[in-house]
Chains A and B, each alone.
Chain A
Amino acid sequence: MAGGADATLLEVRDLVVEFPTRRGVLRALDGISFSIARGEVLGVVGESGAGKSLTGAAIIGLLEPPGRVVGGEIRLDGQRIDNLPQAAMRKVRGKRIGAIFQDPLTTLNPLLSIGRQLVETIRTHLPLSESEARERAISWLEEVGIPAARQRIDAYPHEFSGGMRQRVVIALALCAEPEMVVADEPTTALDVSIQAQIIALMKRLAAEHGTAVMLVTHDMGVIAETCDRVAVMYAGRIAEIGPVREVVKHPSHPYTSGLMASIPALDRKVARLAQIEGAMPRLTTIPRGCAFNPRCPKAMDVCRQEKPGLRPAGATMAACHLYEVENV
C-alpha cells in the first residue's frame, strides 16, 4: 500500500455526491477535499444541511439511495475505497473505519443483548472463538466505562441509560480496532450533563488506540477542546479548513469569521447564525460562483461568477476569492 511514508490515513479529493430527483439532480456535496492523518481528530462544523453527515456516509460507503458518489475519490491508506465492491467494503466498515451515530436510543438493536451485538461484530472481523470474543467484549465494555461489565453483558439495550448506551455504541464502533471512526454528532441526543463525559471518553480512547476521528458536531467548545484541525462546511462545500486555534482565532473565510463572531464564548452551538444576514441556501437555489456570496459582506464581482477553490490563506486553507491574489 502507498501509505507509510506520510502519515495521511484518509484522503478525500473532489468528492461530489448527488441525489437524482424528479425535479432534477441535487448536488449535495460539491467537490469536498480534505485529509485526516493517522491518530488525528478532525472536527467538522457547519449549519444544518451543510453536508456533514453525507460526507461521513460517503466515507463509510453507506450513502442512502438514490444518493451516490458521482465524482472524486476517497482513499484509505492510499487505496481507493469509494469504488470497492460490496463484499470488500464490508471488510473496511467496522474493521478499518468505525462509525458512531447520533442517537444511542435507536442505534442499538432492541432485541439483541449488547453482548450478542459486540460478539457478533468482533467475530465478523477478528478470528476469535465465541468465548474469546465474549472476553474481548467484556473488556471493551469495561474500557468504555460500563460498571459491572461482566454481569451486564447479557443485558438488553433498554436496560441502559442513554449515556450508557452511547458508551456501548462506542465500544461497538471500536471493538475491531479500526484505524479511524466517523462520529456524527455523538452527543447531540444526550443529556447535557453527560455530553462532556462521552467526548472525554472518545478523546481518551482515540488517543490510546491511535484512532483517527472525524468528529461532526455543532459544538464549537467540543471542537476547541478535542480536535486538532477543523473543517467548516457550507452548502455542500468546505469553506475553510485548518488547525483549530487558527480557524477560531484568525479565521480567513468571511463565513468562518461570521461564525466565530457569533460565538463569543467557545461554548455555544452553531445551529443558527444570527450574526450573518440570511440563511444557507437550499440545494436547489445555490447561487453561481461562491455559495456564500448573497450573505457575504465582502462579495466581489468574481464571487458571483466563479466558484472559489481551497487555497492557503494565512495558516489555514479557505475557499474564497479574497485569497486568490496572494496565491498567484
Chain B
Amino acid sequence: MIAQLVSRLLQAIPVLLVVGFLSFAIFTYVGDPVSIMLGQNATPAMRIAMRHALGLDQPFLVQYWHFMVRAVHFNFGLSYRLALPVSQLILERLPATTELVMTSAVLALLVGLPLGVYTGIRPNGFVSRTIMAGSLLGVSLPTFLLGILLILFFSVLLGWLPSFGRGHVVNFTHWSTGFLTLSGLKSLILPSITLGLFQMTLIMRLVRTEMLEVLRSDYIKFARARGLGPRAIYFGHALRNTLVPVITIVGLQIGGLIGFSIVTETVFQWPGMGLLLVQSIQNADIPVMSAYLMLIAVVFVVINLVVDILYYVVDPRLRVKR
C-alpha cells in the first residue's frame, strides 16, 4: 500500500508541473507586470531595470524553473494590488475558507448520509417521497440565490443571524478560528448551509441510489436468509458497500465546495480565499490568481490521495498485495 501511495504521489507530479506551467504562463504573459508596477510614466531605462529585477529578461525555461522553485517555497511574489507578499495574503485568508468548506462538508455528510440511507431503505414511504421532492430544490437552487434568500429570511426579517463576515475570531499564530466564539459560530451557519446544501442533496441522492442497488444484491438476500436483523443488514452490510462511490463523489465535491465557496464568500463577504480571488480578478492582481491556481491543484492532489487511502480502508479487494 505504501508503494501504491508513493506511486500516486509520483503521478501527481506531472499534474502539478502542468498547473504550475499554466499559472506561470498567466503570471508572465497576462498583463504587463512591469507597467503595472511602475505605472505608465516610467522611462525605458527603468523598465529594463525592472525587467531585470523581476528576471523577465531570462530565457523562458529558466523563468519557469525559478517560478516553480519559488512556488515550492511558497513564494509567489508581491500582490500588485496590495503590495504585500501573496503568501501572506493567502495564509491570512486560508483559515476562513478552510473552516467554511470543512463545516459545509461535515454538514453535507452528517445530514446527507443518514437521509440517503433512510430514503434508500423506505423508497416508497411518505417521508422519503417528501425528502426526495425537497431535495430537487437543493439540487436546482443556485448557490447565490439560496444565500440571498437565507440572508433575507434569517438576517433581515428575523434578525437571528449575521448576514456577513466571520464574527469574532480567536487568533493563534498562523490561524484564526471562528469556532471558539458564539458570534463566530453564528456567522458560520448561513454560509455553510448555503455552500453545503447542494452537496448534501447530492450525497443523499447518491447514497439512496446506491442503497437501492445494494439492497437488491445477492449478498443482502443471503444476509436476510441468515436471519440477520435490520441494523446489521442496513449498516453492517449495505451501507458499507455504498461507501466506495460515496467516497469518490465526496472527494470530488470537496473540490466543488472550494469552487462554490467563491460565490458563497462573495455573497456573505466572507474573508476567505474565494473573496480574495474575486477581488484579485477585479484588479488584475495576477500573482494572487496564479498562486490560487497552484494551491487549488495541490488541494486536489491531497484530496485524491485521501480518497485513495479511504478506498484501501473500505474495500479489501483493492488492497492488492504486491
Contact = CB atoms under 8 A, between A and B. Distances in A.
A124 B218 contact: no
Interface in A54-104: 60, 62, 90-95, 98-99, 101, 103
A297 interface: no
Contacts of B227: 90-95, 121, 124-125, 176
Given A62-B225, A124-B227, A173-B226, A106 B316 contact: no
Nearest to B227: A94
Contacts of A156: 316-317
B217 interface: yes
Contact of B229 (A62, A124, A172): A124
Nearest to A159: B316
A54 B169 CA distance: 65
Interface string B208-247: 0000000001110111111111001000110011000000
A111 interface: yes
What size tier do the contact residues of chain B reach? 20 to 34
B224 A110 contact: no
Q: B-side binding surface: helix, strand, loop or mixed?
A: helix
Interface residues of A, number: 30
A56 B226 CA distance: 14
Interface string B81-115: 00000000000000000000000000000000000
B121 to A, nearest CB: 13
A228 interface: no
B237 A112 contact: yes
B224 A106 contact: no
A56 B84 CA distance: 76
A116 to B, nearest CB: 9
B225 A109 contact: no
A111 B241 contact: yes
B314 interface: yes
A121 B226 contact: yes
A16 interface: no
B315 interface: yes
Contacts of A60: 225
Contacts of B218: 101, 103, 106-107
A172 B226 contact: yes
Interface string A224-261: 00000000000000000000000000000000000000
Contact of B225 (A94, A110, A125): A94
Contacts of A113: 316
B226 A94 contact: yes
Given A110-B317, A111-B315, A156-B317, A93 B219 contact: no
A295 to B, nearest CB: 33
Interface of B: 217-219, 221-229, 232, 236-237, 240-241, 314-317
Given A110-B317, A120-B236, 20 more contacts: A90-B227, A90-B229, A92-B227, A94-B227, A103-B218, A106-B217, A106-B218, A107-B221, A108-B219, A108-B222, A110-B316, A111-B240, A111-B315, A111-B316, A120-B228, A124-B232, A125-B227, A172-B222, A173-B225, A173-B226
The 4 residue pairs across chains A and B that have the minimum distance between CB atoms? A94-B227, A99-B225, A93-B227, A94-B226
Interface of A: 60, 62, 90-95, 98-99, 101, 103, 106-113, 120-121, 124-125, 156, 158, 169, 172-173, 176
10 contacts: A62-B221, A90-B229, A94-B226, A99-B225, A107-B221, A108-B219, A110-B317, A111-B241, A112-B237, A176-B226
